[in-house]
Structures are given as C-alpha cells and as structure tokens.
Amino acid sequence: MARYIRNAEDLDAVVTIGTTTESLVLDFKRSIHNWDLPPGTPNRNNLKAEAQRETCRDIAQFANTEGGCLLIGVAERLDPVTQLKVAEGFHSIADPDAMTQWIEEAIRNYLVPATFSREIVPVPDPRGTVLVVNVAPSIHLITSWDSQRHTMECVRRTTHGRDWLNPDELERHIMNGSRATKLAFDLALNRAPGTEIRIAGGYWTRVGNPPNTELRPWYPEAPVNIGQVSDQWFELEFGRIGGATVLSYSPWGLSSTHGWEQTNGYTSYCRFESFSSI
C-alpha cells in the first residue's frame, strides 16, 4: 500500500538517498522534460503535448494499480546489479506552483476521467524542493486519450516500472469487480472514525425448514475483526458465537455492502455498517 508524502518528515521516512529504490508505489523523476519551454521554441506545441502525455502516463500508472507517489525532483540511477532505479539525489524544483498548474492542465487535456483522486504537494527540503504527486488507486480505469490523434492507451504500474495494457488485459481490468469492491472497502476502512467493526443487526442465520424460512439475528452483539486479506477475498473473525471464534471468508465481489457465508453449517448474512482501522 502506498504511503503518501505530504511534508519533509514523510519524505525522510520514505526516501533514503543511495538506498531507496523505485517500487510498485514509488517513482522518481529528476524533472519533467520540456515542461517549461520558452515562447519561440521550434515545434513548441508538439513538444509540450508529448511532455504532458508522458507525465499523464506516469500518473495514470498508479491510479490503475495500487496508488503511489510520483516524486519530481529526485534523480535516480540504475543499479547495475539489481537493475533497479535507486534514488541518487535531490534536484530542486525552482517553480513548483507553475509546474503544479502545468500538471493539472496535462491531466485535464489527456486523462479520462480527469476527476480521479490525487494531490500535488510541494515539499520543501534543505536538499531541494520536491514536487510530490500522490495518486490514489482508482475504481474506474484511467485512460490516456489524445483527442487530436484519436488514440488511447492504458498503463499500469509494475514492480519494475510502467506497463501497457493489451486489449485482453484492458477488458479484464474493467470487469474486475473484486478490485473495485476492495478499493471501496479500503476507502471505508481508512475513513472510519471508530475503533471497532460493527455488523448491522449482528450475525444472522436462516431458521426454519424450506420453503418457510426466515433470517433472524443469531448473535446480535458478536464482536467482529478483519483478518487476512488477498486480492480475491477477506477474512472476518466473529467472537463469542457458540462460545468459540468463527472465521468467515467473503469474496470482494460481495463485500461492499453485504455478503452471504456458509459457516459451521449455518448460512449467514451480514451487512457492513461501520469500519475501523486495525
């Protein structure tokens, strides 16, 4: 999961010069090539357009994966042994406000939808000002669209850099309901003000003989904790049910607001009412 950078303390915690490498959630750029072209530069409009498209790829890759931080003002070098890019030093951004406006213009020009969650933060540091683009993972696919050329491309972040989605991967990404639901679940979890997870109405069970059955609370005040998670499922731990702890596994596709589970021979239904960070 990405750790977003908003101040010098965050930057120190995330980046150690000579040690920190680029990763699934971290990308370094010394600067943005051709972002501040003076008037009169030959082919200026085309150079600016390509620079903005390239910057949008650097941003969209995080939105389409697990989120992350684009650090502009951190130079990198390629480690000859690991073949990973390592933070080499700071290269101060002289006009972070102007670059921020330029990046936002690029997003409006080339990314669809352009309303995805991000924040661009100048981080002053004694070694040089770094412009940080914090990008949250997007439930919707973020596409780079060139209205002049009528071309589109979709990129994602990998552990070794940027990758382009082919048509089959693009369709599977759009249809991946588990990813979308997991992102919604994570968002609710991170925003929760409380310290516990509460299931609305408690833990329910179906009683009676088919077809005359109904749902009734089995243990209304059962405490619930979140355990293991993966890309496909998550674990709920229910305590004090029948004097023992019960583990329930739910696929993400059912977990945004409700889920059906089979546990110890009982079919149960739960609806998430509130969450907490754990």
DSSP 245-262: EEEEEEEGGGTTTEEEEE
pLDDT of 100 > 70? The answer is yes
Q: What share of the chain is helix, strand, coil (3-state, %, to 5)?
A: 25, 40, 35
- Pairing status of strand 68-72 against strand 26-29: parallel
Inside any domain, residue 184: no
181 pLDDT higher than 50:
yes
Looking at 144, 175, 206, which one is the last position of a domain?
Answer: 175
* Strand, helix or coil for residue 1: coil
Both 45 and 142 in a single domain? Answer: yes
* The predicted structure's pLDDT at residue 148: 87
Supply the mean pLDDT for the chain.
Answer: 81
The better pLDDT of the pair 8, 189 is held by 8
Rounded to whole angstroms, the Cα distance separating 105 from 111 reads 10
Query: According to the model, what pLDDT value does residue 262 have?
Result: 39
pLDDT of residue 112: 97
Task: For residue 196, count other CB atoms closer than 10 A to its CB.
Answer: 12
How many structural domains does the chain have? 2
Q: Is residue 78 part of a domain?
A: yes
- Predicted confidence at residue 175, as pLDDT, reads 83
Domain that holds residue 120: 8-175
Q: Does one domain contain both 155 and 223?
A: no
Residue 163 CB neighbour total at 10 angstroms: 15
Please check whether residue 180 is in contact with residue 193, taking contact to mean a CB–CB distance below 8 angstroms: no
CA nearest to 111, candidates 143, 146, 140? 143
Q: Which pLDDT score is estimated for 278? A: 31
Task: Tell whether 128 is covered by a domain.
Answer: yes
Q: Quick check: 89 pLDDT over 50?
A: yes
pLDDT band at residue 94 under the 50/70/90 scheme: very high
> What percent of the chain is modeled with pLDDT above 70?
69
Residue 238: count other Cβ atoms within 10 Å of its Cβ: 24
- Assess if residue 182 is contained within a domain: no
CA dist 219 and 70 (Å) reads 47
> Is residue 75 domain-shared with residue 153, that is, in the same domain?
yes
Q: Which long-range contacts (CB under 8 A, 24 or more apart) does 13-16 make?
A: 14/69, 15/71, 15/74, 15/87, 16/87
Structure tokens at 154: 């979709």
37/165 same-domain check: yes
pLDDT for residue 211 is more than 50: yes
User: Which pTM was predicted?
Assistant: 0.74
pLDDT at 102 over 80: yes
Taking the C-alpha atoms of residue 161 and residue 23, their distance in angstroms, rounded to an integer, is: 7
Per residue in 220-254, pLDDT (tens digit) is 556 666 667 666 667 767 665 555 566 666 666 55
pLDDT at 241: 52
Stretch (H or E) spanning 276: none
Same domain, 137 and 227: no
- The answer to whether residue 86 sits within a structural domain is yes
Q: Using CA atoms, how far apart are residues 85 and 174, in angstroms rounded to an integer?
A: 30
**Same structural domain, 43 and 89:** yes
Q: Are residues 153 and 212 in the same domain?
A: no
Q: What is the pLDDT of residue 266?
A: 39
Together in a domain, 25 and 120: yes
Same-domain check for residues 87 and 127: yes
Q: Which of 36-40, 184-188, 248-252, 254-258 has the highest mean pLDDT?
A: 36-40
pLDDT at 204 over 80: no
Torsion angle in degrees (nearest 10) through CA of 180, 185, 188, 192? -160
- Whether residue 188 is contained in a domain is answered as no
Q: Are residues 48 and 168 in the same domain?
A: yes
- pLDDT for 177 equals 73
25 shares its domain with 123 = yes
Q: Give dist(CA 110, CA 99) in Å, integer.
A: 16
Q: Are both 240 and 160 inside the same structural domain?
A: no
> Tell me: the pLDDT tens digits for 50-84?
999 999 999 999 999 999 999 999 999 999 998 89
